[in-house]
Amino acid sequence: MSVHDADITSKLEYMEHRGARGDVRITCPDCSSTRAKKGERCLSVRRADDGAVLYSCWHCGFAGAIRPDRPYHQKGHLANRPPYTPPSLELPPGGLSEKAVTYLTSRGISKETAALYGAFSAVKYFRTKTWQGEAEGIGFPYIMSGQAEAAKYRMIDGKAFTQDGAARSFFGVQHVLDGSQPLTVCEGEVDCLSMAEAGVANPVSVPSGGVPKPMADNVARDSARMSFLTRNADIVKMFKKVVLALD
């Protein structure tokens, strides 16, 4: 049981009272206070069919389930926990808008490469230091075992991000072929597409960027955020050489 259960549940109930259904986004009680973007809603919360409240932070890995009859809490560093399996995500149809294609082209990424990795256009709610509201963004789906687990969005007219679901794998992992050429690990989805456009074999991106210093000092939280390596361990082990393409 988490000390944050009551807070998470009350915020979900408030959002439900206002008509929210499915996944809702709130600030994370475990990491938001330590971040530069303290107001970013990085905790995804939803109510399961049995009434349980399921939550997962895409930033720090704080995740769990609050059950009406059996309180349960999961965190990345706890031993003997049941494996977290993200629900499949239904992606919107329609592909990329002309505006999105123009933006990607300005970054040297062709429409064909973007489409290969499933990039799509969507209007989402974004928040920056000086502005918040709905805007067009480019969605980057995280595919694992043939299903989309999450989608991360980058606003086109500005640098802001949001996410549906909780990414727990490499972006682009569905296109990794074999270990004959190195695995190239990037910090962001656009970087991954740039590598693919340049003809680099086996590019992937980590789901949440580099680990900042405050988080690196917290072993438990660091382990949770790096849990995607455990999920992709069989893929990483295929390679004798891994290239880190970082800033």
pLDDT score of 77: 37
Burial 43-67 (b: 16+ CB within 10 A, else e): bbbbbeeeebbbbbbbbbbbbbbbb
pLDDT beyond 80 at 147: yes
Three-state DSSP state, 233:
helix
Query: Residue 10: pLDDT above 60?
Result: yes
Percent of the chain with pLDDT over 70: 83
**Which of 99, 97, 126, 117 minimizes the C-alpha distance to 192?**
117
Question: Of the candidates 122, 124, 121, which has an alpha carbon nearest to the alpha carbon of residue 104?
Answer: 121
Question: Rg for the chain (alpha carbons), in Å?
Answer: 18
Q: How far apart are CA 245 and CA 76, in angstroms?
A: 26
- Among the residue ranges 22-36, 38-52, 222-236, the one predicted with the least confidence is 222-236
Does residue 17 surpass a pLDDT of 80?
no
pLDDT band of residue 177 (cuts 50, 70, 90) is confident
Yes or no: say if 99 and 136 are a contact pair by the CB < 8 Å rule.
yes
**Beta-strand (E) ranges in the chain?**
24-26, 43-47, 53-57, 63-66, 72-74, 120-127, 132-144, 147-155, 161-165, 183-186, 203-205, 242-245
- Biggest CA–CA distance in the chain, Å, is 54
CA 158 to mean position of chain CA atoms: 19
Give me the chain's average pLDDT, please. Answer: 83
Assign 230 a pLDDT band (cuts: 50, 70, 90): confident
